[in-house]
Structure 1
Amino acid sequence: MKKALIIVDVQNDFCEGGALAVPGANEIIPYINLLMQDNEYDQIVLTQDWHPADHKSFASNNGKKVGETIILNGIPQFMWPDHCVQGTFGAEFHPDLNREKVTHIVQKGKNPEFDSYSGFQDNNHFVKTGLDDFLKYHDIQLLEIVGLALDYCVKFTCLDAAQLGYVTCLHFNGSRAVNVKPDNGKDAIFEMLQNSVTILG
């Protein structure tokens, strides 16, 4: 069974000192590097949040405060601080992440009208990122997933992967939650377990 490692959004803005820093984010980078060093993956894929400056998920573009929720194209949209803007330092991958073995990069959130938590598609399920096509082309059946943030982009990437028929495993030690609400990370784990995602230590 061919396997791939999916590394979700390990970018400067989600790490220490970033615009949308996830608590403990920097701690997962050595773990992810060891996974790549100690395991033979057929593919290693990075996802990259890659927003235009006028993205509608940014509170600053809606006259809203961070933490508020609006309805965007028919679904609730949490208002985030500006983050991972195309071409900025914050959108770059963290320099400590070893990218020598990376075989593919998937950019998401490029359409200003739609957010895209999952590495597979936007939140409205209108536009695919091409990740599923790439993995199927390479006959990948097993996905191991790590990255940021556990309760948003990692969760939705895992859920989509399982729904698409991949054997899907989350490395708990390779992810951290932003915990907008205190139990978001715990709730995300429970939801993933209910949807055929295996949680690895």
Structure 2
Amino acid sequence: MKALLLVDIQNGFCPGGNLAVAEGDAVVPVANTLIERGGYGFVVASQDWHPPGHGSFASSHPGKAPFEVGELAGKPQMMWPDHCVQGTEDAAFHPDLNVSAIDYVQRKGEDPAVDSYSAFRDNDKNAVTGLDAVLKEKNVTVLDIVGLATDYCVRFSALDARAMLPHATVRLVTDGCRGITEEGVTEALAEMRDAGVEIISLDEALHDHR
């Protein structure tokens, strides 16, 4: 089966959100086009779902400002603005996203003591979300990925998909992704490519009827 993973297409990461990615909302029509015309048997959406006072928030660390590097769970941690707090409008999916087509929502980042960029497991790689088991049960052989942000949650979701779904082809649809920094995106694409993730365009995704 061919599946689509929508990574964190939430208000918080789009213009006007608490951790906005430049042109983040531009991924929404691409995601909707893939949903409509990509021939997917299963559509999954990950959702950042932080409790108030999450450990990755700069506000949880006196003296730390957003985008400074601090420490969480004994490891270096980028300090973020408060974002995607459970039940808030910031955490909701973008209003233009075709949410009616989503078959399964995977929430992440709920443990206040560790961040979770990946839809598959936390940053410590200790706790898994269970998404890999869901996709294996569905016999997913091709997983296409779009979303936000290329250099963080998309990157680590794609890398974990390669590691945890060894028999599936994992593809990143670049038109449907936006990143935080140009350097970060370049580095992320190289790392994903080196790990065996196929980097493709929207046209390629639509015209491949596997």
Q: Would the TM-score normalized by the shorter structure come out above 0.5? A: yes
In structure 2, C-alpha distance between the alignment counterparts of 1:104 and 1:27, rounded to whole Å: 22
Amino acid at match of 1:33: N
Amino acid at match of 1:29: V
In structure 1, C-alpha distance between the alignment counterparts of 2:125 and 2:138, rounded to whole Å: 23
RMSD: 0.8
Instruction: Spell out structure 1 runs of 4+ moving beyond 3 A.
Output: none
Instruction: Tell me the residue number matched to 1:35.
Output: 34
CA-to-partner distance for each residue in 1:164-193, whole Å, 9 max, x for gaps? 2131100000000011xx411111111111
CA-to-partner distance for each residue in 1:92-148, whole Å, 9 max, x for gaps? 000000112211000000000010000000000111111011111111121100000
In structure 2, C-alpha distance between the alignment counterparts of 1:19 and 1:54, rounded to whole Å: 14
* Structure 1: unaligned runs, 5 residues or longer: none
Instruction: Tell me the residue number matched to 1:18.
Output: 17
Instruction: Tell me the residue number matched to 2:207.
Output: none
Instruction: Tell me the residue number matched to 2:170.
Output: 168
- 1:42 Cα deviation (Å)? 1.4
In structure 1, C-alpha distance between the alignment counterparts of 2:137 and 2:193, rounded to whole Å: 27
In structure 1, C-alpha distance between the alignment counterparts of 2:193 and 2:38, rounded to whole Å: 24
- 1:72 Cα deviation (Å)? 1.5
Instruction: Tell me the residue number matched to 2:183.
Output: 183
Instruction: Tell me the residue number matched to 1:135.
Output: 135
Instruction: Tell me the residue number matched to 1:198.
Output: 198
Instruction: Tell me the residue number matched to 2:5.
Output: 6
- Partner of 2:129: helix, strand, or coil? coil
- Partner of 2:99: helix, strand, or coil? coil
- Partner of 1:113: helix, strand, or coil? coil
Instruction: Tell me the residue number matched to 1:114.
Output: 114
In structure 2, C-alpha distance between the alignment counterparts of 1:32 and 1:3, rounded to whole Å: 15
In structure 1, C-alpha distance between the alignment counterparts of 2:31 and 2:12, rounded to whole Å: 18
Instruction: Tell me the residue number matched to 1:97.
Output: 97
CA-to-partner distance for each residue in 1:23-77, whole Å, 9 max, x for gaps? 0111111111011111221110000000001100000011111111122113211
What percent of counterpart residues are identical? Answer: 45
- 1:86 Cα deviation (Å)? 0.3
Instruction: Tell me the residue number matched to 2:67.
Output: 67
Size of the alignment, in residue pairs?
198
* Structure 2: unaligned runs, 5 residues or longer: 202-210
- 1:80 Cα deviation (Å)? 0.2
- Partner of 2:141: helix, strand, or coil? strand
In structure 1, C-alpha distance between the alignment counterparts of 2:19 and 2:71, rounded to whole Å: 21
- Where is the helix percentage greater, Structure 1 or Structure 2? 2
